[in-house]
Structure 1
Amino acid sequence: MTKNNRWVKLFSILFVQLFFLQLEAASQISAIKSEVEIFDKQLLKTTSVRIVQSGIKNNFSVLLVHGLGDNGVKDWRGVISELAQSYHVIAIDLPGFGQSELNSEFYSPHQYAKLLHKVKQKYAKSKKIVVIGHSLGGAISLKYASLYPQELSRLVLVSVAGVLQRSVYMRFLASFNDNSKDNGFLSKIKKGALNIVNTVSSSTIEMTDKLPHFEKFIVNNALSKNYLFKNQQTLKSSIALIETDYSLILPQIKMPTHIIWGTEDPVSSLRVAKVFAFHIPKASFDMIKSAKHVPMFTHLKQFNQLVNKVLAGNATYYKPKTTSLGNSEIGNIHCDGESNLYFTGIFNEVLLENCNNIKLENVYAQRIIMRNSSMTFDNLSVNNNEVSLELNDSKMTGNNAIFKGEIPLMLNESWIDIAGGYLIGKNNAVQTDGESKVYFSVSRAQTSQSIYSLHGEYDDEFERL
């Protein structure tokens, strides 16, 4: 494959992301009957920002933050009319989206979060508010909650895009299959684009991690500017979203947080929802069956029911099933040359030798050893005085893990992809021998010297690339 063809396919991945974001909404846009619409020229010095308010008579304020795409506030059209019956609703067109003016600044979730603070200060009627953010807006709302926790009583995160490490996220986009039976014109375009994206190899995707300033490359690349992102604000916001690291933020979100996700979301990996639910202390979690990336369009009634339940304080906190050893009987797993096995429970040692496609879910173990094996996991806790997890010529992918030991992870000629990991070690979180591929997303490590973020691709010396 030539270098130019590789970049075309990489950009195809980003194109499909935005195509999905806008396609679900495009045929369902209608005008919002709002009580008050303001184009505020004072929130930002150089940009007019559209603010829509409804339910003015109500005293408790709810702030809605939209995602990528041209719709802006229109993303919330069916939600606003529902919530306005009981709440004062504030919705904003972020700069460069909807009817707000473009802004020349490079807007990251951090900068957008500061804008939300200004909106809250000026328009909210209650001391604390509920913030509901979708996609890009969810990432912005998460950042806002970390910067201004005193201003929120609750946070609702809907299908938050990005979050995973750059090439891990692109690998998710490249692996998605659209199984819908719709054979309309737009559906055929979508499926054609997916056919291109699904041919992208892992080595091509991993090229993005070799670029020291990926966001600058994309912004200044002629292909992305002329064909992929003609709206520069969408481009800049998309890249800033992918580049933001939330690893150290999640444990700091102390207000009740509810997560809403579609089970068939092609843009926001369900891995992110699982990580949020596991690592945000007061999280609750609902999945909407068959919903894709914009559940407030395709499943409006169910979405509004969930939001009203959350606002009434009736959500149940998410509690992972992984527990401590306690007084339970401890067993062992020894898999030798087997495939497609599933394990859950409490174990002394898990030994996988020449085993493929092993699934661990809600497992507590004192040690895990893998040799020439592959394994996926959800909710894994390993606690050992020496090495907690040892991989030799093996592959492991999973979500939400706590590895505690003098050396939490020891790798040799192996490949790992962990989202929501927490590594607790004496001096080093990871020890590598031989060539290994190491990907961490929204993870963190704690040693006797410090606590630090793990979010990126790491080389054989466990230096971030």
Structure 2
Amino acid sequence: MQSRRPFLRPWRACLVAALLLSMVDASAAAEVSAQETRVPGTESQRIDEPVFGGQMVVYEAGRGNAREILLVHGIGDEAARDFRDHIAWLQKSFHVVALDLPGFGASDKANVLYSPGNYARVLKVVAGRFLHGPFALVGHSMGAVVSLRYAAAYPDDVLRLALVDAPGVLHSSSTTSQYLARFGLEFVPPAADPADWLVNLARKLLAPLQQLRLDPQVILSSAQLRQSLLGADPAKIAGLAVVSEDLHLELPKVRAETLIIWGAQDTLAPLRTGKVLALKLPRARLSVIERAGHELMLEAPERFRTVLEPFLERGLPPAPARAAAPLTKRGEGTCRNERNKVFEGEYDSLILDGCRNAEIRNARVRELHVLESTVTLDDSDIGGGETGLYAYSSTIVMTGGRIEGNVAIAASGSRLDLAAVEVEGREAAVTARQRSYVVFSLSRVRSPRVRGEVHEFYAVTAKNPL
């Protein structure tokens, strides 16, 4: 028990300090002067928030409007100012409420757990005080993940949901590139861009912590570890929490119509995540803004408005009735020691041998062999016979689609990153002659050993198939 005392004393000190502070400052809210307003065109208030026990700043515009909208920013001290180019047009039709989330902007900062779940509770406080019925909810970056949490927890509150360039969402082993970086791979698929701040965070923080066998949740839940390992920095705490967030059970609870908006050149949150959200949310549509990156509200404000405004006014348009175009029959296909080759259509068999950055998209392949290659697959169906996918010393990233067979995937010394993929193996989902690694993000697996929604990292061996 003595070894635990150093960890208990600071918690007691924090509790005493919080009680003393609550006795010293009992005011419920304080007006922020006009000179201090950080978001042009708004009125602001500093209010007490009970989730973290500090104060936060809330901004309002267009108070007389019946329709209401709540704007949630991402990581960064600009905070609610990220929406400054859009307040003017929004307030013509909406009562607009924005906020500096605790830890950012003009709100209080502390060494506390700035997680999407806790932030969703903060939004509930703001909604209960400033909004009067179902409202539109718009979240950017981390704010999009917070908004997903809120829409899942309080579905009756959200009339329409707009998600802009959400990081995380995929399994942390995919999102942070730890699944790939830990093996020293030269090729990093689009699923994990090396410029991603989440990747940098993971490489600096998660890799050594994993060697120490420290679960990120252990770090996040400990004030001492947040201080010693993250410097009590709200951005690092919130970033690690976003990386670690598991939404696979929450997405089906979202009932609101959802517009997913993505910058095509976003290097911080890969477009792959937007595609996965569009596939997994019950009522969702993806809109991609070309020549825009992660801060697309600021980079392309007019095009952002052109996409968002019709959705706020009328919701999602009816899905166009399109008959699936027949796939061009290709018979057998091969790729040997080539780069950047693209495959589409229907194949009886396809062999990739020594190919780099190959792409398979909108395809149907009865039997796929991947040998010492790197390949991405999008919206493709693999299998139909004994084994769907053979993977030997290869890296495979797949988004959407299906893999099936008596054995869906037969791997050997390979790494597979599957997101929103259905895998059905009548005898096994994945087997491996030599140890192989599979990360499932928001996928569905059906085999004698695994059944249902899967959001997990597996090391598969000959003795431990899936």
Query: Residue 25 of structure 2 aligns with which residue?
Result: none
Amino acid at match of 1:419: A
Q: Distance in 1 between matches of 2:202 and 2:155?
A: 42
User: Counterparts of 1:194-343 in structure 2 under 5 Å?
Assistant: 209-210=210-211, 211-214=213-216, 216=218, 230=231, 232-313=233-314, 315-316=316-317, 331-335=330-334, 337=336, 339-340=338-339, 341-343=341-343
Please give the alpha-carbon distance, in whole angstroms, between the structure 2 residues aligned to 1:131 and 1:431.
43
Deviation of 1:93 after TM superposition, in Å, equals 1.7
Alignment of 1:20-419 (within 5 A): 31-41=38-48, 43-44=50-51, 46-126=53-133, 128-171=134-177, 209-210=210-211, 211-214=213-216, 216=218, 230=231, 232-313=233-314, 315-316=316-317, 331-335=330-334, 337=336, 339-340=338-339, 341-384=341-384, 386-419=386-419
Q: Deviations over 1:297-316 (max 9, x none)?
A: 12112212221121123645
Q: 1:43 to 1:254 in 2, by over 3 A?
A: same
**Radius of gyration: which is bigger?**
2
Aligned 8 A contact 1:171 1:205 in 2: no
Residues 368 and 375 (structure 1), Cα distance of their counterparts in 2 relative to 1, 3 Å cut: same
Q: Which moved more, 1:107-116 or 1:60-69?
A: 107-116
Deviation at 1:328, TM superposition (A): 6.7
Q: CA deviation at 1:231?
A: 5.2
| Contact 2:39–2:59 (Cα < 8 Å) also in 1 | no
Taking a change above 3 Å as real, the CA distance of residues 77 and 430 of structure 1, as seen in their structure-2 partners, is: same
CA separation of 1:368 and 1:317: change in aligned 2, threshold 3 A:
farther
8 A contact 2:171–2:455 mirrored in 1: no
CA 1:109 to 1:56, structure 2 compared with 1: closer, same or farther past 3 Å?
same
Using the TM superposition, give the Cα deviation of residue 123 of structure 1 relative to its aligned residue in structure 2, in angstroms.
2.0
Distance 2:299 2:452 in 1: 42
Cα distance per residue 1:51-82 (max 9 Å; x no partner): 21111111111111110011221111112222
- Is this contact kept in 2: 1:430–1:462, CA < 8 A? no
Q: 1:370 to 1:398 in 2, by over 3 A?
A: same
Output one character per residue of 1:1-51: Cα deviation in whole Å (capped at 9) or x when no partner.
Answer: xxxxxxxxxxxxxxxxxxxxxxxxxxxx99423454222225547222322
Do the aligned residues in 1 keep the contact of 2:220 with 2:241 (CA within 8 Å)? no
Give the residue type in structure 2 aligned to 1:213. D
The letter for the 2-side match of 1:343 is F
Kept in 2, the 8 Å contact 1:176–1:266? The answer is: no
Q: Give the count of matched residue pairs.
A: 417
Q: Is the 8 A contact 1:423 1:444 kept in 2?
A: yes
TM-score (norm 2): 0.76
**Partner residue of 1:184?**
none
Question: Contact 2:176 / 2:199 at 8 angstroms: preserved in 1?
Answer: no
Cα deviations by residue, 1:222-253 (Å, 9 ceiling, x for unpaired): 99958x95553222211111001223433443
Change (3 A) 1:147 1:220: closer
Query: What's the TM-score, normalizing by structure 1?
Result: 0.76
Counterparts of 1:365 and 1:49 in 2: how far apart (Å)? 54
Q: CA deviation at 1:266?
A: 2.5
Q: 1:198 to 1:253 in 2, by over 3 A?
A: closer
Equivalent positions of 1:1-12 (< 5 A) are none
Amino acid at match of 1:233: P
Quick check: 300-309 or 345-354, which moved more? 345-354
Give the aligned residue type for 2:142: L
Q: CA deviation at 1:290?
A: 2.4
How much does 1:138 deviate?
A: 0.5
The higher relative CO (CA closer than 8 Å, separation ≥ 6) is in 1
Equivalent position amino acid for 2:418 in 1: I
CA contact (8 A) 1:34 1:52 kept: no
CA contact (8 A) 1:438 1:459 kept: yes
Structure 1 residue 424, shift from structure 2 partner: 3.1
Question: Paired residue for 1:9?
Answer: none
Report if the CA contact (8 A) 1:219-1:235 is conserved: no
Instruction: State the AA in 1 paired with 2:440.
Output: F
Q: Deviations over 1:375-425 (max 9, x none)?
A: 221112235364322223333123223223443322112222223323234
TM-superposed deviation, 1:197 = 12
CA offsets 1:338-391 (integer angstroms, 9 cap, x no match)? 524322223343343454443111123333233344322111223536432222
Secondary structure at 1:345 match in 2: strand
How big is the shift at 1:156? 0.7
List per-residue Cα deviations over 1:255-300 (Å, max 9, x = no partner). 2211112222221112211211222232222222222221111211
Paired letter, 2:89: E
SS in 1 for 2:273: helix
CA distance in 2, matches of 1:290, 1:283: 23
Measured in 2, the distance between the counterparts of 1:328 and 1:290 equals 30
Please state how far the C-alpha of 1:88 moved relative to its aligned partner.
1.1
What SS does the aligned partner of 2:306 have? helix
Query: SS where residue 38 of structure 1 aligns?
Result: strand
Gaps of 5+ in 2: 1-35, 189-193
| Conservation of the 8 A alpha-carbon contact between 2:49 and 2:125 | no
* Matched residue SS, 1:429: strand
| 8 Å contact kept, 1:167–1:209 | no
The answer to which of 387-396 and 42-51 deviates more is 42-51
Is this contact kept in 1: 2:201–2:240, CA < 8 A?
Answer: no
Q: For the Cα contact (< 8 Å) 1:331–1:349, is it kept in 2?
A: no
Deviates more, 1:277-286 or 1:132-141: 277-286
Which structure 1 residue ranges, 4+ long, deviate > 4 Å from structure 2? 172-177, 196-210, 215-226, 228-231, 314-323, 326-331, 353-356, 461-464
Q: Secondary structure of the equivalent of 1:41?
A: strand
Equivalent in the alignment of 1:438? 438
User: Helix, strand or coil for the counterpart of 2:81?
Assistant: helix
